[in-house]
Chains A and B, each alone.
Chain A
Amino acid sequence: MSTTLTYTSRDLAPATHARVRTSSALRGEWTKLRSVRSTTWTILALAVITLGVAAIAGSTVSSSWHTMSAFERQTFDPTGLSLRGMLFGQLVIGVLGILVMSAEYSTGSIRSTLMAVPSRSKVMLTKVAIMAVVGFVVSEVLSFGAFFLGQALLASPAPHATLSQPGVLRAVMGGGLVLTVLGLVALGLATIIRHSAAAITTYVGVLLVLPLVVQALPTSISQPITKYLPFHISDAMTSVTHVLGSGPSLSPWTGFAVLCGYAGVALAVGTWMLVRRDA
């Protein structure tokens, strides 16, 4: 404790802006994200799952190749196999997206945040931007990483995929894009729900439980719904030869547009509630 320092700043530059600049708010938000361990851990978990599943799937398929039926061999999708871990990765990126907002509420730091940046739409905008950029970079790196790792470990006689084959680059790029957008869906849900556990439960419910519920419905009802589920949109995007056997799918990019729509709705409702509610 110092008695020599006065409380006055010696060198605080005078305020030159009438408002908190978006670039300043972005820098602050980036510091926030990188300065907690949960960010490192979730990204690490994401890497372990996506790369790990790609490695295991790639290295084990050759031994089971001789037991596969002709149909299975014909529809074998080496790209989809390497990207299978991305499906589990959806859960992990969701946790990251949720914690970005819900940890602010569970720790009370939302009050610090809103006192520094009173414009709540700006707070939301910066969180979305940071989550989108970080999610995109991490997801794409891991998607390509999983693809190349999986292909490298895939031994003959199983066929390999290369990025120049039709649909392969779309599937690999798309795997990262789907993860990025799901991270934003999670961020929007967390802004609406505000509690980590409840938000994670809801997110997992939409992603994994909802498909099971829909599957249990009569086909006449389930078939038109199924293709709109995030799980199926993601599967369509990351597959090159599509044989999920559950009826029609949306085309990869149509599905992606629908997914972006989900994120847009979740973020819009979240922003509206953030602006409207007491902190």
Chain B
Amino acid sequence: MIHVQGITKRYKDTLAVDDLSFEVREGVVTGFLGPNGSGKSTTMRMIMGLDAPDEGTATIDGTSYHGLGLPLREVGALLEAKAIHPGRSAFNHLWYLAQTNDIARQRVDDVLEMVGLSAVAHRRVGKFSLGMGQRLGIAAALLGDPPTLLFDEPINGLDPEGILWVRNLLKGLAAEGRTVFVSSHLMSEMALTAEQLVVIGRGRLISSGSVDDFIAESSGQFVRVRSPEARALEALLLERGAHVVAEDDGSYSVSGLDAAAIGTLAGDAGLHLHELSPQMASLEEAFMELTRDSVEYRGHESPHGAPVTASFPSTNSGK
């Protein structure tokens, strides 16, 4: 379990993290969500004992990082893809880390195999792609078989296959009872991976709790419906008190009734449905809404004014 209590970090005149408190439980994936520059990486570095908080404490299973015995066996972290000397081979990077914490050489080979880098173990890391670098960083985090794991933007630079692999890895680690804390600036990614969420903006806590609660809290959920008998269906829905908005593309956005109720209604009336899909875009919207005031660097509004719905998140940079 990770326990963060009132940590504050100042860099010259900017307040990177502001009196932040939260807990990360074992056994589930906890997403650490916030816009770029909101203090996620700084918070993780403070948990890992790299940066000293100006105020407050961060502990792992009740102990500060500096108090851990053999730290790699207690906590593993992927902080930045290239926290690795490019001139060193993947094997040697892991091997020196293993030596410091009395970890057997066999474990180095094992984690290299887990992340799929066995074939390039003795190649210099400088020749690695961004995705391979991420995999090596993940291997380093897993090296000591630690009960607590932190991943800072782990899907950066990964191809779709790699993204899927990371999702399954995170869930698998949590299923083994570990504490898994993973940061992302992509709400859609966290919706697929995390059960718990810690949402921050400008270094302050915005929300924490389960993803389900987060969805429930966010208003404006709707179901997209398409039907060749649209007029009849619309009448039926309005009769049941649903709110129906006709979209430009011929679909209807229905709120006030869930997908099951709409489907039953249409079936009973003998109306065909070509689409009946609950929309999660509101999750992204809720996140945008929550963090709107706390985005540090904002571009101009997109011409559509709509949030980006992501099936596969693009490989955005974490910084």
Contacts and interface: CB of A to CB of B under 8 A. Distances in A.
Given A1-B115, A7-B173, A28-B97, A12 B85 contact: no
Contact of A107 (B71, B82, B142): B82
A6 B104 CA distance: 17
Interface residues of B, number: 54
Interface stretch (A34-42, A168-176, A194-202): A34-42
A273 B84 CA distance: 22
Given A32-B96, A118-B49, 10 more contacts: A7-B142, A7-B169, A8-B176, A11-B106, A12-B144, A29-B96, A115-B50, A116-B72, A116-B97, A119-B66
A20 B51 contact: no
A25 B71 CA distance: 13
B51 A111 contact: no
Contacts of A9: 107, 110, 145
A25 B80 contact: no
Contacts of B89: 35
A229 B201 CA distance: 54
B65 A118 contact: yes
B92 interface: yes
A34 to B, nearest CB: 9
Nearest to A111: B83
A83 B98 CA distance: 41
Interface residues of A, number: 44
B116 A2 contact: yes
Q: Tell me which of B79, B89, B100, B165 has the highest count of chain A C-beta atoms within 10 A of its own C-beta.
A: B100
Contacts of B45: 111, 278-279
Nearest to A107: B85
Interface in A27-72: 27-29, 31-32, 35-38
A109 B88 CA distance: 11
A15 interface: yes
A115 B72 contact: yes
Interface in A76-117: 103-104, 107-109, 111-112, 114-117
Given A9-B110, A9-B145, A107-B82, A117 B100 contact: yes
A36 B88 contact: yes
Contacts of B51: 278-279
A12 B145 contact: yes
A27 B87 CA distance: 19
Interface in A247-279: 278-279
Q: Tell me which of B75, B92, B98, B101 has the highest count of chain A C-beta atoms within 10 A of its own C-beta.
A: B101
A115 B49 CA distance: 7
Contacts of B104: 11-13
Interface string A208-233: 00000000000000000000000000
Contacts of A20: 69-71, 100-101
A55 B173 CA distance: 62
A111 B50 contact: yes
A118 B84 contact: no
B85 A15 contact: no
Interface string A119-137: 1000000000000000000
A3 to B, nearest CB: 8
Contacts of A279: 45, 50-51
Nearest to A123: B100
A24 B100 contact: yes
A109 B92 contact: no
B79 A7 contact: no
A41 to B, nearest CB: 10
A24 B50 contact: no
B86 interface: yes
Given A12-B104, A107-B85, A112 B93 contact: yes
